[in-house]
């Protein structure tokens, strides 16, 4: 309620003061005022009762916050009207106070909106509704961006005119007229032009509700359906990270991360690789040669060349003569071992 009050007060005060400056640029004036008010009110502020109703209807604002927002917005609009009375130029205030019969409405722009010259009721209803629909849809899709709010209002004023852009805020239309009525001591400003004031009030609310419904049907419903489809298919792979370490001969530890993709349950897990069997790997004559004769590097090379034994087969066979003490065993994820070279005495003992 406090944020809506402060944001609405700043927005309508700056916008009203901007109408008194020359040259008057309605799009820039009201767009910048809304942006600054939204920055003061915060990302979740609405600063407009019609927008609040639309956001609540679309589910983007909780229903419990509706009364507090309305109170803050209408209170801020009332204080903005009083502020304009206190800081507006003296001739504007004088014209407003003495014009009890509302004969010349040039002074009304800071406090409320009057119909454009030559407009008709049906055109005004259609224009207010379309402008409110567009404004509400942009508001719903902007995710609380103050800059987008100001740009959207400036665009609407550029397209439809200042009377329709500034008149989209029901709080301004009601409370501004209420401040003027207090100084006139009559309700004449509410009855002007065959009670024209009901058009911006009623059709701002109606257009924002329609815009919220269109946004919900075109954006929220397809998003919800797409989410439900993803939940049902269940074919999205999930990734898990499993850290483990490898100990090298030089005792350096390397940290690695394995990314595993979860496979569908219908597939069988891959079979574990078979451990090498050193007894069966080398040729039988090489095994017998090492068991029965004294060996030297030169004799081994000649024997392998004569019997057509490849170097990988020889290295594979010699690996079994290295001591492999098991430092740590993790039966769940694998085996971590440290391979150390034995000294010459132990090697001769093994031989």
Question: Do the bridges between strand 334-336 and strand 328-330 make them parallel or antiparallel, or are there none, so unpaired?
Answer: antiparallel
Find the mean pLDDT for residues 236-244: 53
Reply yes or no on whether the pLDDT at 265 is more than 90: no
Phi and psi, residue 89, nearest 5°: -55, 150
Reply yes or no on whether the pLDDT at 164 is more than 80: yes
Which has more pLDDT, 223 or 41? Answer: 41
- In sequence order, the 6+-apart residues with CB closer than 8 A to the CB of 182 are none
> In angstroms, rounded to a whole number, what is the distance separating the alpha carbons of residues 188 and 101?
7
- Looking up tokens 């454009």 gives 116
Reply yes or no on whether the pLDDT at 327 is more than 90: no
Question: Do the bridges between strand 328-330 and strand 253-261 make them parallel or antiparallel, or are there none, so unpaired?
Answer: unpaired
Peptide bond into 34 cis (omega under 30): no
What pLDDT does 239 receive? Answer: 53
Question: Do the bridges between strand 328-330 and strand 239-247 make them parallel or antiparallel, or are there none, so unpaired?
Answer: unpaired
Band of the pLDDT at 329, cuts 50, 70, 90?
A: very low
What pLDDT does 170 receive? Answer: 94
Note the pLDDT tens digit of each residue in 67-123.
Answer: 999 999 999 999 999 999 999 999 999 999 999 988 888 899 899 999 988 888 999
> In angstroms, rounded to a whole number, what is the distance separating the alpha carbons of residues 171 and 282?
93
> In angstroms, rounded to a whole number, what is the distance separating the alpha carbons of residues 344 and 180?
108
- Looking up tokens 């329609």 gives 210
Note the pLDDT tens digit of each residue in 14-72.
Answer: 999 999 888 888 999 999 999 999 999 988 899 999 999 999 988 888 999 999 999 99
Residue 217, burial from CB neighbour count under 10 angstroms (0-12, 13-18, 19+): exposed
Peptide bond into 23 cis (omega under 30): yes
Q: How far apart are the first and last CA of the chain?
A: 90
What CATH number was assigned to the domain covering residues 2-233? Answer: 1.20.1080.10
Candidate from 51-55, 207-211, 271-275, 287-291 with smallest mean pLDDT: 271-275
Collapsed DSSP state (helix, strand, coil) of residue 297: helix
**Residues of the chain above pLDDT 70, percent:** 69
**Residues of the chain above pLDDT 90, percent:** 44
- Computed over every residue of the chain, the mean pLDDT equals 79
Reply yes or no on whether the pLDDT at 155 is more than 60: yes
Task: Answer whether 99's CB lies under 8 Å from 28's CB.
Answer: no
What pLDDT does 106 receive? Answer: 86
Cα distances (angstroms) measured from residue 4 to each of 49, 50, 72, 194, 317: 10, 13, 5, 32, 83
What pLDDT does 332 receive? Answer: 46
What pLDDT does 221 receive? Answer: 81
Reply yes or no on whether the pLDDT at 319 is more than 90: no
What pLDDT does 330 receive? Answer: 45
Find the mean pLDDT for residues 263-269: 57
Reply yes or no on whether the pLDDT at 333 is more than 50: no
| Radius of gyration of the chain, Cα coordinates, nearest whole angstrom | 41
Which has more pLDDT, 249 or 166? Answer: 166
Extents of the domains making up the chain: 2-233, 284-350
Residue 65, burial from CB neighbour count under 10 angstroms (0-12, 13-18, 19+): middle
Phi and psi, residue 178, nearest 5°: -65, -40
What pLDDT does 303 receive? Answer: 74
> In angstroms, rounded to a whole number, what is the distance separating the alpha carbons of residues 149 and 136?
10
Task: Answer whether 139's CB lies under 8 Å from 55's CB.
Answer: yes
Reply yes or no on whether the pLDDT at 311 is more than 80: no
Candidate from 76-90, 116-130, 224-238, 273-287 with smallest mean pLDDT: 273-287
**H or E segment at 161?**
none
């Amino acid at each position: 309620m406090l944020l809506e009050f402060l944001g609405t007060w700043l927005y309508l005060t700056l916008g009203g003061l901007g109408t008194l400056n020359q040259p008057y640029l309605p799009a820039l004036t009201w767009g910048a005022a809304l942006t600054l008010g939204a920055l003061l009110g915060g990302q979740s502020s609405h600063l407009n009762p019609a927008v609040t109703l639309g956001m609540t209807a679309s589910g983007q604002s909780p229903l419990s916050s509706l009364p507090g927002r309305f109170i803050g917005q209408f209170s801020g609009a009332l204080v903005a009207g009083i502020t304009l009375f206190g800081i507006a130029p003296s001739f504007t205030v004088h014209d407003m106070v003495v014009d009890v019969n509302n004969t010349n409405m040039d002074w009304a722009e800071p406090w409320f909106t009057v119909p454009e010259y030559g407009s008709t009721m049906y055109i005004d209803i259609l224009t207010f509704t379309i402008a409110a629909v567009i404004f509400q849809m942009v508001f719903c899709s902007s995710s609380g961006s103050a800059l987008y709010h100001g740009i959207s209002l400036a665009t609407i004023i550029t397209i439809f005119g200042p009377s329709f852009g500034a008149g989209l805020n029901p709080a301004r239309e009601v409370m501004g007229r209420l401040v003027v009525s207090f100084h006139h001591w009559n309700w004449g400003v509410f009855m002007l032009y065959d009670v024209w004031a009901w058009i911006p009030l009623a059709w701002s609310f109606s257009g924002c509700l329609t815009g919220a419904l269109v946004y919900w049907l075109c954006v929220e419903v397809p998003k919800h359906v797409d989410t439900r489809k993803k939940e049902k298919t269940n074919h999205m792979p999930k990734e898990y990270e499993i850290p483990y370490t490898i100990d090298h001969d030089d005792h350096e530890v390397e940290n690695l991360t394995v990314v595993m993709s979860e496979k569908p349950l219908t597939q069988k897990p891959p079979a574990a690789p078979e451990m090498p069997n050193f007894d069966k790997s080398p040729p039988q004559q090489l095994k017998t040669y090492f068991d029965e004769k004294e060996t030297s590097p030169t004799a081994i090379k000649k024997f392998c060349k004569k019997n057509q034994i490849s170097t990988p087969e020889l290295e594979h066979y010699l690996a079994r003569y290295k001591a492999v003490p098991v430092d740590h065993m993790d039966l769940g994820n694998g085996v971590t071992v440290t391979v150390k070279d034995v000294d010459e005495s132990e090697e001769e003992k093994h031989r």
